[in-house]
Structure 1
């Protein structure tokens, strides 16, 4: 069972890096809990996922896979599921790190009125006139 957990933690870390996130427990802790609709998980739980101490339950695995743009089956077992057809996601542009993605995730949670306000601010700051 230990070898299975090690392989999972390696796949999880690789998926995080490919999605533009640092493969650190703190990053996954905040990302996961900001999207999971169930009871939040502890930092120690997320740390065990990344350090080969545990494998998340299926509901949590599904959320992680969706956040990282990978197939849950491939994340859990290491081979893509052949029965599921999924839309491919374009990778984030190079240079977009975990901090920028967290800012974007936070922005997307804002009300439309607040999004407009932030958009106006960004346009004002980027105006070179």
Structure 2
């Protein structure tokens, strides 16, 4: 199944779970009553529900807010959201506090100093891999 069809299934399920019929007329009415941009047509929402297109991010956020689902889950599915949460939990692990602190300090540096630090890190990484620094340096900058 393709990405657009999977999105359509998630959209239909979210509408039904929120107590709305999964019909284009309902989606058109409810979406347009909440969206401050240019109204969408019946044909556009039919394409969303039919698995032929996916709304832009601003429209997706309005739909997600209306249906009380996470925009990422609506767009990409629960597996993608779970993977993001796992990575975030790993990053927030207290064992990595010093690394997060170092990265925050790195990001606060001026651009020239960040370049020097990146070069030092690359040199350490290459030394750890047993590779010698040399001609590949220019490709990674």
TM-score under structure 2 length normalisation? 0.56
Cα offset, 1:20, TM superposition? 0.3
Whose relative contact order is higher, 1 or 2, with alpha carbons under 8 Å and at least 6 apart?
Answer: 1
Q: Which sections of structure 2, spanning at least 5 residues, go unmatched?
A: 89-141
- Alignment partner, residue 70 of structure 1: 69
Partner Cα distance (2:2, 2:69) in 1: 21
Tell whether 2:24 aligns with 1:14. no
Q: CA RMSD in A?
A: 1.2
- Alignment partner, residue 37 of structure 2: 38
Cα offset, 1:14, TM superposition? 0.1
Q: Which sections of structure 1, spanning at least 5 residues, go unmatched?
A: 84-129
- Alignment partner, residue 97 of structure 2: none
SS at 1:13's partner residue?
helix
TM-score under structure 1 length normalisation? 0.61
Alignment of structure 1 residues 102-121 onto 2, 5 Å: none
Partner Cα distance (1:71, 1:62) in 2: 8
